[in-house]
Structure 1
Amino acid sequence: MATVRVGEVEVGRVQVGGGVQIAYARVGHGPPLVLVHGAGLDGRMWQPQLAGLADEFTVVAWDEPGAGRSSDLPAGFGLVDFAHCLGAVIEALRLGPAHVSGLSWGGTVALELYRHRPELVRTLILADTYAGWKGSLPPEEVAARAEGAKRMLAVPREKFDPTLPGLFAGDPPAAFVPLLGTMAHDVRPETMGAQLLMMAEADQRDLLPAITVPTLLLWGEFDARSPLSVAHAFQDAIAHTELVVLPGAGHVSNLETPERFNRAVREFCRAHA
């Protein structure tokens, strides 16, 4: 494990099985809060949380395998492998049990971590996410999204566009447009295609009633990709849940309404310290 410091942020890498190197950013002191980013993004999407919550928590945002500064996806890598890598990072940094927060695809990874390594999870914070597309969306919607992912992979790299429809309730927040552009430029098509096809096949509904840790559901009021009906299905299936709806926000609610997002996370983690 190698680390450097950039201002207050520790930037490091963890070597896990199969030669996979995983990069992370770590800042702050206090109870550990691990942030798991969405598909087509990387750990930089959590900038407002790294900046806004480090006064009270040890905040860690990884770049998952195949994204950001981490190494490429190995052949045959699956959802369970993402979960095992996330667990390896939590163990290597001696963070567990941690508050684990995932947005969109990142929430699906966080759920899979809980399936295999529940001892590493203090609480779950599931933001605008799914129990896999198959587990949360109508079959016709899953089929349409899977077909869209295949078309995305079929275009030449210079024409590849990682932007998915319905990420924000309105225009992307102006303060984060440069960041979003940089992350989009750095997306690896093979990674994003693999993520989306894994989501199309994933169905974690069997896991939800087995979750015993406190769980926060954070949802944008106008999320078009994972509508509020999905949040209510989580709420019905998981025993110890709290739902917070973020007014005016869409799917990437941590960037669209960061102050409200951070406040909800802070209050929930305090309550379950």
Structure 2
Amino acid sequence: MDTVEVNGLRLAYRRAGHGPAVMFVHGGAEDSRTWTPQLDALSDEFTVFAWDEPGAGGSEDVPDGFGLAGYADCLAGVLRTLGIAPAPVVGLSWGTTVILELYRRHPATVSAMVLADGYAGWRGSLGAQEAEARLSGVHAALDAPGQLDPTLPGLFAGAPPARFVPVLDAMAAGVRRRSMLTALTAMAAADLTEVLPTIAVPTQLVWGELDVRSPREVAREFERRIPGAHLELIPGCGHVSNLEAPESFSAIVRRFLQHRGRPSAAR
């Protein structure tokens, strides 16, 4: 992995391939390894970057007082430091919330976006009561002895694909509890619904048809509120659609980047 320093933090990222650049933004309790199938599939045509957010993977821990704005500012700094801004950004789940905040604070760094199985924050997409219930569940999971369960009920429509269980286990073993709580507390508090109608870059929505973590109603609300957004549902797939149906997910991203995303060349 490579690293850059942004806002006083050492941040890690993975890079694969050659060609126009695209940045992938992982979900909560994950790191850049979750994008392994996309780095493999798309590196024949694109320069694929996947960051480890502050507090995840090879990146430094989150500092005191860190919040959603900090994640967005760091991601903007990574894009600029790598010399790829403006770039298409692809995010899943919590990663979509980070991207929406990135666009709100740093719109000039984003040329297009793919939002997958996501939220305008838990509060924004699910309501205050469900957001608080989920945050309570996070606290309970972090207080329980042993390793976090990487196959939380609802993440997959069925059993997680066997070939990705080792990476799921490795990411779960590497979760830093304070950092995870920082990210998901920000997720629970966020309401970025007002950002959706302001998006003026090409936007692709990708949802698992059987996603129960971010139900199809959330996808339809994104489609209704984001100008020109196009939604594709992946049949038989749950919340972690990039791992449960990696070939379908990568094909959707490829088509979008080829025809609408217009990524710029990486240096």
TM-score interval, normalised by the smaller of the two chains: over 0.9
Alpha-carbon distance between aligned partners in 2 of 1:252 and 1:148, rounded to the nearest angstrom: 19
Deviations 1:140-198 (A, max 9, x none): 32221121122233345x46556533100000011101111111111111111111111
Alpha-carbon distance between aligned partners in 2 of 1:122 and 1:94, rounded to the nearest angstrom: 13
Matched residue, 2:6: 16
Alpha-carbon distance between aligned partners in 2 of 1:76 and 1:132, rounded to the nearest angstrom: 19
Q: Where does the alignment leave 5 or more consecutive residues of structure 1 unmatched? A: 1-10
Matched residue, 1:202: 190
Q: Name the count of aligned residue pairs.
A: 261
Identity among equivalent positions (%) equals: 53
Alpha-carbon distance between aligned partners in 1 of 2:12 and 2:102, rounded to the nearest angstrom: 18
Matched residue, 1:66: 55
Does 2:207 match 1:219?
Answer: yes
Alpha-carbon distance between aligned partners in 1 of 2:230 and 2:199, rounded to the nearest angstrom: 13
Q: Of the candidates 19, 35, 56, which is equivalent to residue 46 of structure 1? A: 35
Does 2:139 match 1:150?
Answer: yes
Q: Secondary structure at the match of 2:102?
A: helix
Task: Give the AA of the match of 1:80.
Answer: A
Matched residue, 1:126: 115
- Comparing 187-196 with 74-83, greater Cα deviation is found at 187-196
Q: Secondary structure at the match of 1:205?
A: coil
Alpha-carbon distance between aligned partners in 2 of 1:260 and 1:176, rounded to the nearest angstrom: 16
Q: Where does the alignment leave 5 or more consecutive residues of structure 2 unmatched? A: 263-267
Alpha-carbon distance between aligned partners in 2 of 1:31 and 1:188, rounded to the nearest angstrom: 33
Does 2:260 match 1:264?
Answer: no
Question: What is the TM-score of this pair, normalised by structure 2?
Answer: 0.95
Alpha-carbon distance between aligned partners in 1 of 2:203 and 2:109, rounded to the nearest angstrom: 14
8 A contact 2:148–2:172 mirrored in 1? no
Q: Secondary structure at the match of 2:201?
A: coil
- Comparing 188-197 with 46-55, greater Cα deviation is found at 188-197
User: Residues 258, 161 of structure 1: CA spacing in aligned structure 2 closer, same or farther, 3 A cutoff?
Assistant: closer
Q: Secondary structure at the match of 1:25?
A: strand
Task: Give the AA of the match of 1:204.
Answer: L
Q: Of the candidates 101, 104, 122, which is equivalent to residue 115 of structure 1? A: 104
Question: What is the TM-score of this pair, normalised by structure 1?
Answer: 0.92
User: Residues 238, 50 of structure 1: CA spacing in aligned structure 2 closer, same or farther, 3 A cutoff?
Assistant: same
Deviations 1:115-163 (A, max 9, x none): 111111110100000000000013332221121122233345x465565
Matched residue, 1:185: 173
